[in-house]
Amino acid sequence: MDAIYQALAEIEKNNDSAALCTVVKSEGSTPRHVGSKMLVHPDGKFIGTVGGGDLEHRVLDEAWIAISEGQPRLLSYRMSDPSRGDPGVCGGQVEVFVEPILPAPMVVVIGAGHVGKAVAHLAKWLGFRVAVSDDRAEFCNPETVPDADAYYPAAMEELPGQFKINRRTFLVLTTRGSSVDAAGLGPLLDSPAAYVGVIGSRRRWAATVKELRARGISEEKISRVHSPMGLELQAETPEEIAVSIMAEILMIRDKGTGKSMKSAQPNNG
C-alpha cells in the first residue's frame, strides 16, 4: 500500500495521469477484501491488485477507459458462473471504484503581450496551472508576467519538447502576428491539447490558414483551431478579451453551451 501512496505523490508532482482502483464492497467469497487497491498507469503498468485473474483484467480495461474519459466508474461483478460472463467462481460479489487521477488543467499562454498577461492573470485566478511562453525572453519572466507557474522563453514550434501537452492542456495564442502563428502552429496541432485558440480577426486567421496549407498542414488539423477565439462579448480591453477567451475554455472543459442562462432555462409554461 505504501508503494501506491508514494506513486500517487509522484504522479501529482509530475502532473501525470493514472487510475486508482479500490475494492469498496465484498460479499461472500471474493479474491480481495474491502480497501484493496490497484494503481493503473496509462502505459499499462500497475501497482497492487484487486484480485488477479479475469477480474483484474476487466478492471484494468475499465481503468484505462476512465483515464481517457476522465470519469470515475463503479464496477460490480458476481463471481459465480463464468459461463454467464462472470469473472470467477468464488461465489461472492465484489464492487470496485475506479477513480481517474488527472493532471491539473493548464492554460499555456503563448505571446506575453497585454492580452496574454490578462489571460494568465484570469486563468490563475480561476484555478488553472498557468505557463507563459514567448520567443522574446524579456517578455517571458516572473517580473513581466507574475501570475504564471512556469515560463518557456522559446519559439512556439519548440514547445512540445519543453513540457508535456495532454488532454488537460489549453493553448492560448495571443501572439503578435499571423506569421508567428503559421510558423509555430504545426507541432502544436500534432499534440493532444484540449484547446488551441488563436487571437485575431477573421482576416488574420484566413491569412494564417493559407500559410498553414502551404506548409502541408491538413484540413483536419486546421479545423481544431478556435479563431477568432473566445465567446462573443463585444470585448475590447485586454481584460474583457481575457474573460471572453477563458469563458470559451470553461465552456469546452465543462461541456457547457455558451448560451445565456436565461435562454438556457427550460420553459415551465
Q: pLDDT digit string (tens) for 111-160?
A: 999 999 999 999 999 999 999 999 999 999 999 999 899 999 999 999 99
Closest residue by Cα to residue 108 from 47, 54, 154, 177 = 154
Contacts of 174 (CB under 8 A, 6+ apart): 109, 110, 111, 112, 113, 115, 116, 119, 199
**Is the pLDDT at 247 greater than 50, yes or no?**
yes
Do the domain assignments include residue 201? yes
Determine the pLDDT at residue 114: 95
Same-domain pairing of 114 and 216: yes
Whether residues 149 and 220 fall in one domain? yes
| Whether pLDDT at 254 is above 60 | yes
Residue 247 sits in the same domain as residue 145: yes
The pLDDT mean for the chain works out to: 89
Q: Is residue 86 very low, low, confident or very high in pLDDT (cuts 50, 70, 90)?
A: very low
* pLDDT for residue 88 is more than 60: no
- Averaged pLDDT for residues 55-83: 84
Q: How would residue 83 be classed by pLDDT, with cut points 50, 70 and 90?
A: low
Cell of 172: 492560448
CA distances from 167 to 105, 162, 193, 232 (A): 8, 16, 5, 25
| 2: pLDDT strictly greater than 90 | no
Range of the domain at 57: 2-101
